[in-house]
Structure 1
C-alpha cells in the first residue's frame, strides 16, 4: 500500500490487468475501442447496504478506463483521471531513518523548519544526515510539512 498526502487513502491506478479492485470484480463494458478491439471502459459494482429513495438505479456502478485512478477514501470509491489524481494527492516522501529521527526530535523540541536548515548548514548534525538534508532539501521540506515514510533498511 502507498500513502498519499492530504489524508490516508488507498488508491490504485487501473492498467487493464486487474480483475478486482478493493474486493470488487472488474467488469469490462460492452463498448469496444475501435482501434484495438479491447474494452475501452470498465466498471465495478458497489453493493450499498441501503439505497436512498431518490438514488438512481445505476448509482452503485463506478465506471473507469485504463489509466484512471480508483480511490477508496473514507468508505467512498471514486474515479480520478491521472492528472487530477497527481494534483490532489502527492505520494509521501521516503526518507532515511536517521533523517526521520531529526524531524521527530526537532518537532518535539518545538523547533521550526528554518532552524533545522540553519543547523544543517552550520554542521550540527552528523555529516551523513547533514549531507542528505542539503542534497534533498525539497524532499526534506515536504517530509517536514506533509509527513513521510521511513525508508526500509537494506541488509
Structure 2
C-alpha cells in the first residue's frame, strides 16, 4: 500500500501533471485518482532507474534531485538528451505505448521521485474514452516527430 502523501506533495503532483500534454484531458477527479496511486521512492546517486530497451512498467515525476536521460550511441558511449529537475516527468510514453524504453534514466544525485505503475495508470484511464483518443493522437504525433530526428 502506498504511503499517504502530504498536501504539499499532492499539490506538487497536480501541478506537474497539468504541465504534461498527455494528461490535459484528465479531469481533476481523474488526476486525484492517479495521484492516489503514486508513491515516493528515494534513488541513490548513480542508480540506473531504467535502461534503454527495458519494458515500460512505470512513469516517474522528479520531486527532488536531478535525473539524466541518455541514449546509447556507437561503441557504448552515452549521448545525454536532457537533465530533468523537480516537476519534470519521464517514462510516460513507454508506459502509454507498451513499447520498450527508448532511452536510459540515471539519478545524477540522490533524488526522490514519485512512481506510477502501468496497472494503476491503465485502471485510472480505463473509463475515459476522450483521454484514450487524445493519448493515441499524441503517440502518433510523437512517433512522426521522432522519425524526423
TM-score after normalising by structure 2 = 0.24
Select the structure with the greater relative contact order (CA < 8 A; seq sep ≥ 6). Answer: 2
* Structure with higher helix content: 2
Bigger-Rg structure (1/2):
1
TM-score after normalising by structure 1 = 0.23
